[in-house]
Structure 1
Amino acid sequence: MTEQEKMLAGDLYFPSDKVLTALRKQCRIQLDELNATCQSDHKKRTRLLKQLFGSTGKRLYIESSFKCDYGENIHVGENFFANFNCVILDAAKVTIGDNCMIAPQVGLYTATHPLDPVQRATGIEFAKPITIGDNCWIGGMAVINPGVTLGDNVVVASGAVVTKSFGDNVVIGGNPAKVIKEIEQAEQNV
């Protein structure tokens, strides 16, 4: 297996691999162009995001500055919005459903490292995918950790650190995040 195949399979891989390094460099070039494009030039910014991401809905917008590792491992649905200083480390697949909003300074991190210090010192790492359902809202400065799946209609409170998966129709918050309340159907339609 190539290092890229290992990375996408969730196996240990070396990010210093020349192919992965070249892919990250190309992504940085694309991000430089996106982040330098005027915020009011929606058409160009949308075109650049569609070129960067693996797949998108028709309508999406991300405020600058935006950062990611590869871009091609990010898949967003229809009507996606991310506010200032969003970081998505997409060493594994990141899937975000329709009608999702991400507040400022949110981080979605698929990359992780071995706990063993000797193994970690070699530079090896691995990644776990992140999946976010439809109609989710992630509050400012929240962190979504590797391997997390969030169901539909989930609200993540500002500053939350999400270390495990949650089902549909909940508000979660804290460090580590836990269910604060269930969202009733009437609240969903407001």
Structure 2
Amino acid sequence: MDEQEVRRRMRAQELYDDEGPGLEALVAERQRAKHLTWRFNMSDPTDVPARQALLREIFGSVGERVWVEAPLQVSYGDNVTLGDDVFVNVGLTLVDDIEVTIGSRVMIAPNVTITVTGHPVHPELRAGMAQFSAPVVIEDDVWLGAHVVVLPGVTIGAGSIVGAGSVVTKDVPPNVVVGGVPARVLRSITDEDRVFTYRAPGALA
């Protein structure tokens, strides 16, 4: 299977293998991403201009006032776009064989994983390291809690919150709080939430 066929399969939700003869360009793109993220993760945290410049090399596009804490891990990096005023805490992992779109004013807590890629169920299909990909979209004003996992093909609607430790397996509507494994809607976000009141853990529902 040549490089163009693999790239086509990536975006068609078909099975593919991204290693082997004729796929050197894909391997080189992943190696470039590893090198750039290594440089970012090892950089002086007080050298903000250098770190911001590295982020613009790593990602496909980066909006204004974007802040990313180290460490960061990506597969390709340039398949990821970030809007304006995005804050990413430590330990973000992006498996971005194809597009990951992150909107504006998105907040990502520590140790979040966003993956566009998975593997088939049957072990005979997995034996050759076959995988599939489906794009992920995180719309504007979303907050992803600590240790959230977002799986392939998911869109998280604008304004929604994903509670800490959740695994998001299907689309999330706008302006809701979801949580759990798998994540489910706990409640809507309403005008009553314009007035902040501290809620003890477990009191979101």
TM-score normalised to the size of structure 2? 0.88
- Tell me the equivalent position of 1:127: 133
Letter matched to residue 39 of structure 1: P
Taking every aligned residue pair, what percent have the same amino acid on both sides? 35
- Tell me the equivalent position of 1:170: 176
Which range is displaced more, 157-166 or 118-127?
118-127
2:104, 2:195 → 1: CA distance? 16
Q: How far apart are 1:9 and its partner, in Å? A: 3.4
What is the CA deviation profile of residues 40-82 of structure 1, one whole-angstrom value per residue up to 9, with x for unaligned ones? 2222111111111111112211111100100010011001111
Do the aligned residues in 2 keep the contact of 1:54 with 1:74 (CA within 8 Å)?
yes
1:2, 1:55 → 2: CA distance? 25
Answering whether residue 61 of structure 2 is matched by residue 50 of structure 1, we say: no
Structure 2: gaps (5+ residues): 197-205
Answering whether residue 11 of structure 2 is matched by residue 8 of structure 1, we say: yes
What is the CA deviation profile of residues 70-103 of structure 1, one whole-angstrom value per residue up to 9, with x for unaligned ones? 0010011001111111101001210011000100
1:53–1:9 CA distance, 2 compared to 1 (3 A):
farther
- Tell me the equivalent position of 1:147: 153
Which range is displaced more, 144-153 or 13-22?
13-22
How many residues of Structure 1 are paired with residues of Structure 2 in the alignment? 190
Answering whether residue 65 of structure 2 is matched by residue 62 of structure 1, we say: no
2:12, 2:36 → 1: CA distance? 25
1:119, 1:34 → 2: CA distance? 36
- Tell me the equivalent position of 1:86: 92
Which has the larger Rg? 2
TM-score normalised to the size of structure 1? 0.95
1:189–1:4 CA distance, 2 compared to 1 (3 A):
farther
Q: CA-atom RMSD, angstroms?
A: 1.4
Structure 1: gaps (5+ residues): none
Q: How far apart are 1:38 and its partner, in Å? A: 1.4
Q: How far apart are 1:189 and its partner, in Å? A: 7.6
Answering whether residue 75 of structure 2 is matched by residue 72 of structure 1, we say: no
Please identify runs of 4+ aligned residues in structure 1 that moved more than 3 A: none
Letter matched to residue 25 of structure 1: Q
- Tell me the equivalent position of 1:32: 38
Q: How far apart are 1:4 and its partner, in Å? A: 2.6
1:147, 1:114 → 2: CA distance? 14
